[in-house]
């Protein structure tokens, strides 16, 4: 059973990512990886790693917006 906080991917996006994983293994590791193997790797990334990337994106966006707000406040006369 998947965690409710797991990122949900559309079928099309999931298929694209599976193909990207297969391409990576083929080009970079000279290994043929089937759909099942690539899907299991994607499942692992979703379950164990995606939350960290998401949280970093939220943190980066927060910092960016804070910096822009300081720029706007600098326009006060």
* Mean pLDDT, residues 62-74 taken together: 85
Over residues 32-62, the pLDDT tens digits come to: 999 999 999 999 999 999 999 999 999 999 9
Token readout for 49 is 């790693």
**How many other C-beta atoms lie within 10 A of the C-beta of residue 40?**
14
Please state the domain extents for the chain: 11-73
Q: What confidence score (pLDDT) does residue 3 get?
A: 55
In this prediction the pTM is: 0.74
Whether residue 6 is predicted with pLDDT greater than 70 in this model: the reply is no
The rounded distance, in Å, linking the Cα atoms of 33 and 55 is: 30
Whether residue 22 is predicted with pLDDT greater than 80 in this model: the reply is yes
Whether residue 1 is predicted with pLDDT greater than 50 in this model: the reply is no
CA angle, 33 as apex, 30 and 51 as ends, to 5°? 105
| Length of the chain measured in residues | 77
């Amino acid at each position: 059973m998947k965690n409710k906080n797991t990122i949900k991917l559309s079928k099309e996006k999931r298929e694209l990512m599976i193909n990207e994983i297969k391409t990576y293994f083929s080009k970079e590791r000279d290994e043929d990886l089937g759909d099942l193997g690539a899907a299991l790797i994607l499942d692992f990334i979703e379950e164990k790693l995606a939350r960290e990337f998401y949280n970093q994106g939220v943190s980066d966006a927060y910092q960016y917006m804070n910096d822009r707000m300081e720029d706007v406040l600098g326009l006060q006369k």
